[in-house]
């Protein structure tokens, strides 16, 4: 486990994932019923972009730093980031908008990161921090309990993609999680370095028997150099009403600000599998 998100916090991939996450959370909260949030790869929750890790890579300069004075489509997300001060990761973003009836479970396998996360949320009765494996947690923490109170869920799966079989594990994890809680909304982030792995992932999802899947992808350049993060995507199962249109608008706004002008940049929102 070498991946540390502190080096990458605020990069364009975080912006895509978090802007869509903020929209998904708001969509689930249109109804008053309680929502269970499961963040399977949580990281440490907040990041100091002035700190040595973020400064070493400077990735945030091509990401969140370019979103000041955002257009309407990004205003909710960027407003929340600004409001939270220290740059928020997914658990902090989710927690900021939780209502009294909502619950959040965060899983983080790296012992040091889990300790930081536990310290951050230690006294918070609405948040549970687990130092445990994400893939195992999808079985153990779904369906949410108590079942009568928590009938809806948003599951964010955001692996570091260090292992060569991470796309296969992600597809399996989605099938497993969905099997445990078929009405849950599942959002899975994935990298686009070169085209074959994400296309294989799409095929695995199409063949999995899962229904109602939309992917939202952004490329900074043509995905030819497999050593670079050329783009990324979010696959959403059971997307709330209006996700396709909202994702189109969010991605278009992100590309305007984060685009590099290199050949092949673009975005696409695709209905991968029908309802």
Ligand X SMILES: C[S@@+](CC[C@H](N)C(=O)[O-])C[C@H]1O[C@@H](n2cnc3c(N)ncnc32)[C@H](O)[C@@H]1O
Q: Which residues bind ligand X (CB under 6 A)?
A: 1, 3, 5, 17, 41-43, 89-90, 107-110, 113, 133-134, 158, 160
In the complex, least distance from residue 4 CB atom to ligand X, rounded to whole angstroms: 7
Nearest-CB residue for ligand X: 89
To ligand X, the closest distance from the beta carbon of 266 in angstroms equals: 23
- Between CA 269 and CA 20 the distance in angstroms is 12
Choose, from 39, 76, 158, 165, the residue flagged as catalytic. Answer: 158
Contacts of 19 (CB under 8 A, 6+ apart): 74, 77, 250, 254
Catalytic, 39? Answer no
Smallest distance, ligand X to C-beta of residue 149, A: 25
In whole angstroms, the minimum distance from the beta carbon of 32 to ligand X comes to 27
In whole angstroms, what is the distance from residue 194 CA to residue 173 CA? 22
Range 260-265, long-range pairs (CB < 8 A, 24+ positions): 260/62, 260/220, 260/221, 262/220, 262/221, 262/222, 263/221, 263/222, 264/219, 264/221, 264/222, 264/223, 264/224, 265/219, 265/220, 265/221
Comparison of 65 and 151: residue with beta carbon closer to ligand X:
65
Based on CB atoms, which residue is closest to ligand X, 216 or 273? 216
CA nearest to 91, candidates 39, 153, 15, 52: 39
Please name which of 77, 89, 67, 69 lies closest in space to residue 14, comparing C-alpha atoms: 89
Report the residue number, 5 or 202, with the smaller CB distance to ligand X: 5
Q: Which is nearer to ligand X, 188 or 246 (CB)?
A: 188
Catalytic (active-site) positions: 158
């Amino acid at each position: 486990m070498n991946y540390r998100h502190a080096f990458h916090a605020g990069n364009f991939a975080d912006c895509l994932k978090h802007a869509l996450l903020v929209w998904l959370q708001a969509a689930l909260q249109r109804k008053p019923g309680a929502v269970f949030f499961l963040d399977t790869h949580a990281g440490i929750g907040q990041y100091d972009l002035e700190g040595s890790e973020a400064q070493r890579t400077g990735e945030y300069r091509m990401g969140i730093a370019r979103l000041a004075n955002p257009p309407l489509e990004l205003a909710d997300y960027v407003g929340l980031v600004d409001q939270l001060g220290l740059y928020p990761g997914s658990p902090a973003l989710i927690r900021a908008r939780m209502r009294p009836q909502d619950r959040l479970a965060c899983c983080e396998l790296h012992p040091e990161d889990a300790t930081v996360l536990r310290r951050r949320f230690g006294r918070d009765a609405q948040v549970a921090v687990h130092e445990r494996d994400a893939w195992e947690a999808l079985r153990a923490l779904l369906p949410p309990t108590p079942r009568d109170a928590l009938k809806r869920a948003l599951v964010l799966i955001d692996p570091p993609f260090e292992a060569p079989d991470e796309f296969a594990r992600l597809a399996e994890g989605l099938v497993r999680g969905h099997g445990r809680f078929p009405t849950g909304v599942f959002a899975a982030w994935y990298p686009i370095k070169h085209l074959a792995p994400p296309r294989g992932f799409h095929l695995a999802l199409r063949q999995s028997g899962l229904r109602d899947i939309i992917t939202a992808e952004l490329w900074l350049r043509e995905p030819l150099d497999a050593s670079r993060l050329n783009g990324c995507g979010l696959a959403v199962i059971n997307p709330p009403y209006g996700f396709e249109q909202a994702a189109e608008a969010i991605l278009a706004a992100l590309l305007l600000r984060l685009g590099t002008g290199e050949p092949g940049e673009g975005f696409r929102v695709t209905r991968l599998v029908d309802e």
